[in-house]
Structure 1
């Protein structure tokens, strides 16, 4: 099913994949108040929907929003509470980029009423779709919710140094059974690339909200350093070098790794009690 901004592709495997940050659509009325169209789309999870396109053939269910995270971030706590207290992060309706650049012209940031309207227009329907798909598959047995993300390998304002290739988050073990985390970690390790569990990224609101292993719903977040599938420009990114184009040949090894990871998720769900 496809709406003008929400895409739902139903599969029969016990795996739901969320794509909350691959969208770049921004309504004209909002874009006119922003400082730059490029800045407004700078922090998208570029090409992640193409990277995981094989998942449909595996029987996975995919829920994707086409709306830019700069309009509303559907992976943030709708109450506005920070997911990482004391650390730099962006909010439900971000007002700055990951690098601290202002997204809105002076006096044009959304007020509480507008944030509530955006939540009702995009956030709530996205999560209603996720819940519907989780419930549909949960009626057949345990299900894994896999929240798919990527980010530039180096973002000094958010974390020190270079991010590991695979960043697995299960909210410090609260969002899924240990067996799922071990299975995903092992699949990542088989790539030979760097990985971390519950490092800088422990899982966003989606992972924390839906992950209820005691009820048979196991949620896990994967944050990829994007150097694994596109060119990560050295130094600051600019409109001249970002976003890097998607290159199928460069991305193919990562797609093989991800296929192994998703296979592990499905196998876990099929054997979980």
Structure 2
């Protein structure tokens, strides 16, 4: 297997590209995933970008892994990326690639026509934030494929393993995919800003009992909550959510204005309240009756 370039390896000399924060014993049938909170930017990546380091971080889900850090002592694993989303997005298909970004021909199996590629947000992103181009020059196809083979695929192998172990232990598994959104997002009627957006692929990625329980809890806490618009869940939610098989996936988007300064990316005074409310949310949903979360029985022949 090929390895990432030496400069990229050096950037992660003291921290893995991704890691699992695992409890001593998994006590609840939940797996938490933070694929966009990585904040280590390799020097060779920054050198290839036309953007400064602060600007390129606008696509980052800053501090989301920290907001959910409580889940480990609570008894659930948390998988988090340390590499940045702008460098590689594991919430995409493995080969959603824009041919205009590269100096050679993409392999025939690449998906170059998805809406995400058209928007500049493929597996290797072309833009951050408000259509700000990342790269000063075209990339090599080999570089893109190397990121996918050496980071993307191992990341998903680890996520599948966590869900598999959880399913084997509890008879079902719940994946909570953790994200953040700009405070400018207006997701509710009347163009009202939402505090949370829950994405369950319009009911196809998890049992309705789970989505409704999360929605009900957050609403009762005074938060404004939207469902599936504008974020119905990305590749991870769509790909792993198989509720009839006992694998449920729910994406949670948190308004960044609740817990951080979006200009400086520093935590705000609201960080601890949001983290505490999320901890109570997880306690609440972990005690739900599990009858609707197990696999459905196979139909008779």
TM-score by length of 1: 0.86
CA distance in 2, matches of 1:230, 1:182: 27
Q: 1:29 to 1:162 in 2, by over 3 A?
A: farther
Q: 1:215 to 1:83 in 2, by over 3 A?
A: farther
CA distance in 2, matches of 1:225, 1:208: 22
Provide the residue aligned with 1:112 in structure 2: 141
| 263-272 or 90-99: bigger deviation | 263-272
CA distance in 2, matches of 1:104, 1:84: 20
Deviations 1:147-180 (A, max 9, x none): 0000211169xxx956411100001111011111
Provide the residue aligned with 1:19 in structure 2: 34
Deviations 1:1-40 (A, max 9, x none): x962211122312110001011022222222111122222
State the 1:84 CA deviation.
5.1
Runs of 4+ in 1 over 6 A off after TM superposition: none
Query: Any gaps of 5 or more consecutive residues in structure 2?
Result: 1-13, 97-110, 295-301
Q: 1:54 aligns with which of 70, 86, 89?
A: 70
CA distance in 1, matches of 2:219, 2:159: 29
Contact kept in structure 2, 1:96 and 1:102, CA below 8 Å = yes
Provide the residue aligned with 1:9 in structure 2: 21
Contact kept in structure 2, 1:75 and 1:206, CA below 8 Å = yes
Q: 2:122 aligns with which of 83, 86, 91?
A: 91
Equivalenced residue count is: 257
CA distance in 2, matches of 1:29, 1:169: 35
TM-score by length of 2: 0.78
| 114-123 or 204-213: bigger deviation | 114-123
Task: Between the two structures, name the one with larger relative contact order (CA 8 Å, sep ≥ 6).
Answer: 1
Contact kept in structure 1, 2:120 and 2:131, CA below 8 Å = no
Greater C-alpha radius of gyration: 2
